[in-house]
Each structure stands twice: as C-alpha cells, then as structure tokens.
Amino acid sequence: MDLRSRIAAAVDMSGDRLRRALIVGLGESGKSAAKLLERAGIECAYYDDGRHICGGDDRSAMNLEQIADGVDIAVLNPAVAHDHPVVAALCAKGIRVISELQLGDVVCDARKIAVGGTNGKTTTVSLIAHILRGCGMDARALGNIGKPFSSEAAEMPQYGVAVLEVSSFMLECGGVGADVAVLLNVTPDHLDRHVDFADYARTKARMFERQHACDKAVFNADDAVAFAIASKVKSETYFFSTLGKCRGAYRDGSDIFFDGGDGAKRVCGLDCIKLVGEHNLSDCLAAIAACKLFGVSDDAIAKGLSTFHAPKYRLEYICAYHGTAVFNDSKATNIDGTIAACEAMKGTTALIVGGYDKKLSYHGFFSRLPSGVKYLICCGANSDSIIECAPRDLSARIFRTATLERAVMLGLSLGTDNLLFSPSTSSYDSYLNYRERGRHFEQAVRTFCA
C-alpha cells in the first residue's frame, strides 16, 4: 500500500479522495508532517498564528469557514491545543484532525516504544535507544525529545525501533500503536493548557488506547496515578519499582531484578548505573523493563547502563567555582523535576528557579523543598507566583533577580556547595525551549567564571 493510501485508510477515507491537508501550527513538527504528506502526493496548506498560508509565502488572514474549505484532513502540531478555534471549525465540518504523532504512526513499519510521563521522559528514551543501539538495533529517539516522529517514520526499516518521547500535548488527538508503552509518573503540570489535573491524567492515559492485547504496557508501581491507569489498559501490564518487588523491573538490595512472569532473575548490580538520584534510578528501571520486553540480554543492559550519560541540561555538571559545583538542570520544567534534582544534591545548595507561568501552585513545592536548599533565587515571569507561596517560617532565604546573569552572579557569591539551575517550569517566557534556556545559563556561568 502506498503512503497516501495508508494515511487515507487510517482516517477511513479512500486514497483518491485524500488530496489536500491543512497543517495547523508550523514549527518543526508541522514542517515535518508537511514534507511527509507532500511526499505522499497530498497538497498542503498551513495555518499558523492566525494566518492562512498557501504555497509557502502567500500569507493572508482568513476566517475559520474559509480555512476549512477544500480540506480533506488536518494535522495538528502539538503546540496547538485541541480546543483551539480552528480545530473546532474543522471538526464542525466533519474534517478529521490527527496529530503529527499519529501521522508518523500510520506510516511507520518499525517497531515502537512509547514513553510518557511528567518527568524523566528524555532520560528514559535516550537510555532505551542507547541500550538497543548497543545490541546492533537501528533504534532512533524521536518525538518530543527534539526530532519529530514524522521526519523519519516512513524511512525506518521493519527491523528498526522508533523510541518515542510522548508529551500530553501530543496525545490530545489520541494514542500511538506502540509495541511497548511506558508511563513513568503523573504529577501536576501544564495546568495552563489542561482543564485540571484529572484531565491531564486522562490525556496521559491515552497513550495506551491504540495498543492491542498482545502489546506490552509498563507502569510505575510507586506512582499512585500511573498504577491506577494500569488497571484500565487492554495490553499486557508490567511494572517497575524502587520500593519493592513487582512483575517487571525492581531494586532489591544492591541488585536489579526483572520478573517477566516466569520468576525473578538478576539483571545487574546497581553499580552499573552512573546517573545520580532516586528519580534517575526509577527511569533506569523503566528502561530496563522496556528493553527486557524487547528481548535484550542482561549483559547488553549492564553495558548500556554503564556507558550512558545523562542528556544535556538534565542535572548536567558544568564546572566548579571557588568550591561551588554548578549544575544545569534546564530540562526541569515542572516542580517534581526540580524537587528530584534538589534531592540529588549533596551539601548546601543555592537554587535558581522560575520561568513561564503555567498556573501551578508552589505551596507544595515549599513543603517538599529539601533542607539543604539554603537560598532560593527567583528569575522569570512566574517569580511573583513562587514568592507569594513561600511560608513565613521558610528557613531558606529568597532573592529575586531581573536577569539570569544576575542570578548566576548572586548564586556564585553565596558560598554554597552547589549552585543548581532547575527552573521548575517551562521556558516560553523568554526562550524557544529548554535547550536555548540551558545554553543561556551555561554561557552566563562561563562568562562569570572566565
């Protein structure tokens, strides 16, 4: 079946009827989707930032009725919310709206591992791909990790493995048909986009809705929400846990075991894991469970763990300045990620937080802040929201700075064992993404320490 027929079949349409697609939201995902559709012989128009774009540079404002005219299918960039008015207009005309993730899914012949959750997705996806590549597999890390699924989906061979980082934004249109799907955790995040936490959790659970009974699903047994979702899926369920034994991967003493239902067997020792922190151990167990379900040997897993380094800007050590170790954790885009990073620090810490206002309450943040955090430096659009939630009896001293450069200067003058940049929120107040934010922080540190 050719590409256009496969895409058409996925939306219950004949190939000869599928002639024109609307890309809603450009960015990397939208551009990749357009290239794939055009390769399939489907004409593309674009809607981005309130403008209708035909043929690349022809930009004109159009009402929603006009935008829907002549469109057979629409592909949604994950940055565009599913309740956006243009989506409602398309649906009202009976036009099928799918995500860029789903577009990649229907044309991909390779096997798929999908990883979702609030925290740890990038680390887990990177580790799984690293282990599989060490076995000689054509494993590619795609999706929310930075490279759209649709950019490589059609080229991947059947023997390859697409390891997909899947965000809640990507799941609003539905799930992905993964051979193995992993849910790391579900804690409050993106409440500026989702109606409430229950809606956010339901969206996370959609990752499993296109799986079959023969597929595998892996859940965090230590996370109450993820554990509850496990009882509602139709695929085979496995777990991972840092706290106790389970059907899946778990820690027992100084060793890691995997029980696939036929008895527990030792995989490797904890000393194979080079990443620091309990949260990273949890991510490693999730990756081990996924790899074991793909038939990877214990030796290959141990080798992969021992040679893996954390992704850039995820609790990344930058340098030391007069006894203060500097860590760049720009990837921490929510409160739980920042708390986990603080818990991984040894000694006293000055913490730089703040960024885009996602309408999160920081009351819980302060109640969980480790005692080793002696100074809190707020820098970003949500600084007021953070400071307003601080209790009067907080032992840590709070500062506010106008720029990240000033936050670095202040943090390195406080004489703590660590300076940790872990924003606890998204970067969209000042940056395109967490990577640009991470580069800015590193540059500020290097400039000050020069």
Report pLDDT digits (tens) over 83-109: 888 888 888 888 999 999 999 999 999
Give the whole-angstrom CA distance, residue 338 versus residue 83. Answer: 30
Are residues 221 and 286 in contact, defined by beta-carbon separation less than 8 angstroms? Answer: no
Per-residue pLDDT, 48: 80
273-299 per-position pLDDT tens digit: 999 889 999 999 999 999 999 999 999
Helix (H, G, I), strand (E, B) or coil at 199: helix
Q: Which range of residues forms the domain containing residue 74?
A: 3-102
Provide the sign of the torsion angle of the four alpha carbons 412, 416, 417, 422, taken in this order. negative
pLDDT confidence band for 57 (50 / 70 / 90): very low
* Average pLDDT score over residue span 258-271: 96
Q: Which residue has the higher pLDDT, 308 or 10?
A: 308
Q: Do 113 and 90 fall within a single domain?
A: no
For position 421, which CATH number holds?
3.90.190.20
Give domain status of residue 311, yes or no: no
Q: Do 89 and 117 fall within a single domain?
A: no
Give the whole-angstrom CA distance, residue 303 versus residue 266. Answer: 15
Give domain status of residue 42, yes or no: yes
Q: Do 261 and 396 fall within a single domain?
A: no
pLDDT confidence band for 60 (50 / 70 / 90): very low
- Rounded to two decimals, the pTM is 0.87
Are residues 112 and 178 in contact, defined by beta-carbon separation less than 8 angstroms? Answer: yes
Per-residue pLDDT, 70: 83
Q: Do 94 and 145 fall within a single domain?
A: no
Per-residue pLDDT, 143: 95
Is the per-residue pLDDT at 63 higher than 70?
A: no
Per-residue pLDDT, 341: 95
Is the per-residue pLDDT at 67 higher than 80?
A: no
Residue with tokens 């992993």: 182
- Of 59-63, 137-141, 308-312, the least confident: 59-63
Give the whole-angstrom CA distance, residue 161 versus residue 139. Answer: 5
Per-residue pLDDT, 147: 93
Show which of 74, 102, 130 is a domain's final residue: 102
Q: Do 209 and 288 fall within a single domain?
A: yes
Q: How many domains does the chain have?
A: 3
Q: Do 98 and 16 fall within a single domain?
A: yes
Q: Do 227 and 144 fall within a single domain?
A: yes
Q: Do 358 and 267 fall within a single domain?
A: no
pLDDT confidence band for 59 (50 / 70 / 90): very low
For position 174, which CATH number holds?
3.40.1190.10
397-423 per-position pLDDT tens digit: 999 999 999 999 999 999 999 999 999
Per-residue pLDDT, 413: 97
Q: What is the rounded average pLDDT for all residues in the chain?
A: 92
Q: Do 356 and 280 fall within a single domain?
A: no
Q: Do 178 and 64 fall within a single domain?
A: no
Show which of 48, 82, 102 is a domain's final residue: 102
Q: Which residue has the higher pLDDT, 79 or 148?
A: 148
E-strand spans in 322-447?
324-328, 349-353, 373-378, 397-400, 418-421
Is the per-residue pLDDT at 155 higher than 80?
A: yes
Alpha-carbon distances, residue 78 vs 22, 100, 377, 433 (angstroms): 14, 7, 32, 14
Q: Which helix (H) or strand (E) holds 259?
A: strand 255-259
Q: Do 255 and 364 fall within a single domain?
A: no
* Average pLDDT score over residue span 16-38: 90
